Structure 1
Amino acid sequence: MNRIYCDKTSGTCAEGCIPGWYNDKCNLRCSKTCSNKTCNHQTGECILGCIDGRKGRFCETEALNVKGNPVCPPGTYGDTCHKNCSERCRAYSVTNRIYCDKNSGTCAEGCIPGWYNDKCNMRCSKTCSNKACNHQTGECILGCIDGRKGRFCETEVTNGRHAGKAQQNSEQLARIVSVIVVYDEQTKPSCRWSSRSTDGR
């Protein structure tokens, strides 16, 4: 038969506490931030570690994410961690889990390709090459598709593809560094580089 024994004078539990409780008389609950709510039956220290987002001997401290900001358990945010981070947040490469700012929901690691903004809720422009853009500003980072130009590839180039290539060729030509040949007293050639563009500017 299972029986409970405790000290005759103090009432201290002779065999410790059932899971989830601690102290001499097992009258204190283990912290809900302890993994499995399991703790040392004498000290209350979390013996199986902490739930996600907490740290410390008693899991009393809010953990920090990779950016150094307080976080909820992975994938959540809000005062009570009841909101979900955007599924378009980029996962942290070490844990392959999504983290976002506890207060704002801002994605800690930026966005998956094709999306931008703090919460990664805006699509990169389809006129961006490969639909790739800066995860904060939305600027096209790999250039534009044929027939478009601008930081966001928002401007249409006249005559589309051919005009775009002509403009590109013109800009490349203007950047060619010209060489001016100068002869010294012994008529040995010595080249001086000039950054002046071919259009005379």
Structure 2
Amino acid sequence: MEFCDQTVSRIFPLVRSGFTEVTSSSIHLWKFSLNSILWPGYSIDGDTDNTNYQKCSITALNQKEAWLRVDLKEVYSLHSVKIWYRQENPETILQETCKEISQYVWIYNNQSNDSDGVILEVCEIQIYGCPTGTFGTNCSQNCSHCKNTLTCDVETGACDNDGCAREGFEGSLCKGCPTGTFGTNCSQNCSHCKNTLTCDVETGACDNDGCAREGFEGSLCKACKPGQYGENCSLKCGNCNYNDTCDRITGQCETCAPGWKKTKNCDQECDSGYFGPQCTNSCKINCNENICDPVDGRCLEGCRPGWQAPHCNETCPDDRYGRNCEYSCSRYCYNATVCDKQTGHCPEGCIEGYQAPTCKQYVSRSGFDKTSLGVGFGAGSLVAVLLIVVICIPICLWHRLKRKRKRDLNAKYEKPQEFMQSPQEISQGSKPMAVKQISHYYTKKTEEEVSIAS
């Protein structure tokens, strides 16, 4: 007979009369009647008397193999099998530990005796185990500590090869990790932490002391992100070349970006007058004040006269001159020559009517500057107007004063009552004054007054 050869220990009986089913390879009939049939069900009826063969399940004689299959109707974590085998000796009881996850238990025999062939004689069978996911006495504990919660050892709770459900535990029984270790089956150590004895047993997170080495950050001591270095990645890389990043521990760049000196951290800008990778290029001599961009050499203060921005390494076009080529050459250079790119002077002078050296100013043929003459005429006209104003104002004021005095005299002699007689005086015998005489007197008096006033 073949059984699992393991330690026997009773846990929980799983065979239940009226629920569990059993079948066999054949059935022995010792008499030709129904009462003489040794049914397989006799092996699970709860009767453990193995001395009465009429209460046992016996297979037919002269067979090459014999088997008995027990169907528990559900999957269980099996622990052991106990069999009461038919013998004249009542001590013939077999017990075997068989720790498996199964719904069926097979008892198989292929060993023949000389007289009857292969035969099985089982009076009673009991199977012990627990519902899947539980273990221990009366199946009172569960397998939640295992990754595979259905397959822990039904007796001890030991996990299968899948190991523990949580990081930070090891062994089949998932005991806590030893000091200084963590992770699956405690296979990793806490050497990344400054305090190597206290990292988290599940995640490996370090305590407040932080990481053991520079160039790492966070409780899990992950490597610094690009552009950072030093303790807890608290420092920023210098100006490393293009997309290069610095050493996460020392901060050193492999090469520096243009515009920065070749120092450990590429943190010193080029000296004035130099630019480019490692500051090896000199600013162009035509940069004004010899100042250029430290990265690409552009002249920051513009170009000297006669040179084009931005790098001041090309002369002005033929029709331009001056600083940054900001001025246009005159069209009146003699023989249409190109003006000097720095000063704008026409090398062969000007055509008639324009003044050297730039030939931009028009002058008359007599040699006078037309523009200056116009300015002179304008200034003379202004002086003449001022003189006229100065002379006219006193004259106008004198005439206005004269007219005023004349009006005042006229108003004084307009009513000559003192020279005329009233009607009462005439009626009383006074001699009236002739009108002509009055008029003559008035006129004469007026002329005298005017003459005096004049």
TM-score norm. by structure 2 comes to: 0.24
Q: Comparing both chains, which one has the higher relative contact order based on Cα–Cα distances under 8 Å and sequence gaps of 6 or more?
A: 1
Give the greater-gyration-radius structure (CA): 2
TM-score norm. by structure 1 comes to: 0.48
